[in-house]
Structure 1
Amino acid sequence: MDAWPACVGPATDSPARQASLIRHSSPARYRYCLMAGLASLAAGCGGGDSPPLVGTLERDRIEIIAEASEPIVALEVREGDHVAEGTLLMRLETATATARAAAAASRSAQARHHLTELLNGERPEVIDEARARVAAAQATAQRDQMELRRATALLARGLTSQASVDQARAANDAAAAALREAQAALALALHGSRIEDIDQARAALAEAEAGERQLAVGDARLDVRATRAGTVEAVPYKLGERPPAGAPVVVLLADSPAYARIYVPEPLRASLRAGQAAEIRVDGLEKPLPGRFRYLSAEAAFTPYYALTQRDRSRLSYLAEVEVTGPGAAGLPAGVPVEVTPAAQAHD
């Protein structure tokens, strides 16, 4: 057990302790540790040629999530079905989405009408009313001006008091101010809206329409469709259930090339590089599959810093992915064990 990597406990734990931790870990973690341990065992076996790198055959897993927390009203696929990109997988209830769309359309219509009102300016009736107010204010101003003149003349002859003159002057000033106010209102009605108000109305309309389009995109996703061609691996929820927003409702295995997920022992890590050719052997296939390294991790899996001594670092293992470059893996299921031999070793 010395060759097991420190994936479930410190390197200082006893072999029996590490084995117990591995056996009682989760199945996924157990398999992860098992492959890393096999890689480490291969590195520590010594001898001439290095043994093959072990792992499993995998495919890209595509998790398609629920756009909103709505009940499932239709299931169109089952596990194992092959679907093309854009295929309808399931439908979620759209009653809430329809109400949201109607509210968004109303906000857009309101903003659009407000912009139209500003562009068209005041109605002719409003302008006529403003002209009438100006005419009335002019008549009032003329009357009060005449009253002020009479009061001033009477005061000069001693026939009225100063208070009466002051009152007439105040009324004249108020009438003049009311006339100016009416004239300004008429000018405002004739000149229309300010350009700043129109720009603000245009911006409000653009915001409302953008919100409407955003809701339309989200509502369209209530019809859950395949984002890539592939095979349905899992449908976690049943008809009538309400998955939470953001939860995966369909899992696809993409039709993209399969790849081997393996673990590279530390003594071999420096000799491998991305793009390097390799052979992938699968139980039940007579000939190996061609492949190439597409990814090599720069960090060891589950390794604490204190395991980097000269004795322990040979137990390190690095995650790598080797893509199958031929058609031979088309019908193989994900998860089957594989052995990978880098090209430099395959030709020895």
Structure 2
Amino acid sequence: MKNKRLPVLVLVIVLIAAGAAAYWALHRPKAQTQTLTLYGNIDIRQVQLAFNDAGRIARLRVQEGDTVHKNQPVAQLDPARFQDAVNRAQAVLLAQQNILAKLRAGSRPQEIAGARAGVDAAQAALQNAEGTYKRQQTLVDADFLPRQTLDNAAQALKTAKADAQRAQQALSLALQGPRKEDIAAAQAQVQADQAALALARRELADTELRAPEAGVVENRILEEGDMAASQTPVMTIALNNPVWARAYVPERELGRLAPGMRARIFSDSFPGQAFDGWVGFISPTAEFTPKSVQTTELRAELVYRVRVYACNPQGRLRLGMPVTVEVPLRDNAPQQVPRHACAG
């Protein structure tokens, strides 16, 4: 009887031991991983280039897929009417500068000499009118001439005095030169004309459309001969830098991540190749996991958007490419890394 109970007892002991082992395995503290793995997609910035002014496109210098560098000319408007505006502004400025120079120079010696001669002539005429009036008065008093003759002489004397005063004022103006207010007004007009010329030159320069940064021509929206407007894009350029992976970190892992930490980015398109990067941005607000994640459990979890900048010197990482991001959690203190650290 004892021999029959022994196997049962052994079986019970084995089951108890197995249950204890399973319970311990399920409830033991899990070792914290040394790498945080995130999943996301590659993002880049795109620029839609447009002219500042309306005009007809005379030339497009690049094709779709062409690589462009910063400040490279990519398109041009017909510059004819913009050049005419520059020529007109130059002529207006030159005319106003001459007016200002004339005012600053004041009266010429010949003008002052002419004003002095006018004063001398007016004084001579005044002296003659005074002598005539005195003689006419004597003859009228002696009843040799009618009273009307004396009145005419008096009127002539008054006119001569006014002419003498006017000549003296003209000489005074010639000696003093232009008014300070007139010079200031002319100078202000010169400054306005200089600004108008600078604007015309800027508009002429803006007929040349340039790439703001290095990138790749993604799309030519308009063609040569099309009419361009200030709000109508001519082409789209995908910028080479910065390139980043848009990923999402669960709230429970948020405390292990910080901007400036080093990271590595992997893509299925380049097996075994790691792209160096760093954590550049962590969203301050939570959101639900994007719908592109199909797992129901993950879709209901709150996450924080993370931007992990990547070095992409050969342009292998492309817009929308799915990637895996690995962030080492050991010996990976945050550092101050500029967003364009991989430029050039």
Q: TM-score, normalised by structure 2?
A: 0.70
- Aligned to 2:226, the other structure's residue is in SS state coil
Q: How many aligned residue pairs are there?
A: 290
Q: In structure 1, what is the equivalent of residue 245 of structure 2?
A: 260
Q: In structure 2, what is the equivalent of residue 177 of structure 1?
A: 162
Amino acid at match of 2:218: E
The structure-2 alpha-carbon separation of the partners of 1:82 and 1:154, relative to structure 1 and needing over 3 Å to count, comes to same
Deviations 1:135-189 (A, max 9, x none): 3321232233334444665677788899987775565344323212212212322
The structure-2 alpha-carbon separation of the partners of 1:144 and 1:301, relative to structure 1 and needing over 3 Å to count, comes to farther
Q: In structure 2, what is the equivalent of residue 244 of structure 1?
A: 229
Q: In structure 2, what is the equivalent of residue 298 of structure 1?
A: 284
Q: Partners in 1 of 2:238 and 2:265 — Cα distance?
A: 20
Amino acid at match of 2:277: G
Q: In structure 2, what is the equivalent of residue 66 of structure 1?
A: 51
Residue from 225, 232, 249 that aligns with 2:210: 225
Q: In structure 1, what is the equivalent of residue 7 of structure 2?
A: none
1:84 aligns with 2:69: yes
Q: Which stretches in structure 2 are left out of the alignment for 5+ residues?
A: 1-32, 289-299, 333-344
Residue from 264, 268, 274 that aligns with 1:288: 274
Residue from 306, 328, 342 that aligns with 1:320: 306
CA contact (8 A) 2:41 2:320 kept: yes
Q: Partners in 2 of 1:261 and 1:328 — Cα distance?
A: 19
CA contact (8 A) 1:231 1:254 kept: yes
Q: Partners in 2 of 1:167 and 1:73 — Cα distance?
A: 80
CA contact (8 A) 2:56 2:78 kept: yes
Q: Partners in 1 of 2:263 and 2:51 — Cα distance?
A: 39
CA contact (8 A) 2:214 2:240 kept: yes
The structure-2 alpha-carbon separation of the partners of 1:81 and 1:328, relative to structure 1 and needing over 3 Å to count, comes to closer
Amino acid at match of 2:173: L
Within 5 Å, give how 1:1-348 maps onto structure 2. Answer: 52-123=37-108, 126-150=111-135, 171-269=156-254, 271-285=256-270, 286-300=272-286, 315-324=301-310, 326-327=311-312, 330-344=315-329
Deviations 1:107-154 (A, max 9, x none): 111112212222333455544543343233212322333344446656
Q: Partners in 2 of 1:155 and 1:315 — Cα distance?
A: 125
CA contact (8 A) 2:34 2:328 kept: no
CA contact (8 A) 1:289 1:329 kept: no
Q: Which stretches in structure 1 are left out of the alignment for 5+ residues?
A: 1-47, 303-313
Structure with more strand by fraction: 2
Q: Partners in 2 of 1:225 and 1:263 — Cα distance?
A: 36
Displacement of 1:264 in angstroms is 4.2
Deviations 1:204-252 (A, max 9, x none): 2233123212221221221222232222122211121112114332322
The root-mean-square deviation of aligned C-alpha atoms, in Å, is 3.6
Displacement of 1:257 in angstroms is 4.0
Q: Partners in 1 of 2:143 and 2:95 — Cα distance?
A: 66
- Aligned to 2:227, the other structure's residue is in SS state coil
Pair member with larger Rg: 2
Amino acid at match of 1:99: D
CA contact (8 A) 2:36 2:329 kept: no
CA contact (8 A) 2:35 2:328 kept: no
Displacement of 1:300 in angstroms is 4.8
Amino acid at match of 2:128: R
The structure-2 alpha-carbon separation of the partners of 1:339 and 1:156, relative to structure 1 and needing over 3 Å to count, comes to farther
- Aligned to 2:241, the other structure's residue is in SS state coil
- Aligned to 2:58, the other structure's residue is in SS state strand
Amino acid at match of 1:55: G
- Aligned to 2:193, the other structure's residue is in SS state helix
Q: Partners in 2 of 1:197 and 1:343 — Cα distance?
A: 75
CA contact (8 A) 2:215 2:238 kept: yes
Q: Partners in 1 of 2:217 and 2:230 — Cα distance?
A: 20
Q: Partners in 1 of 2:307 and 2:287 — Cα distance?
A: 14
Identity %, equivalent residues:
29
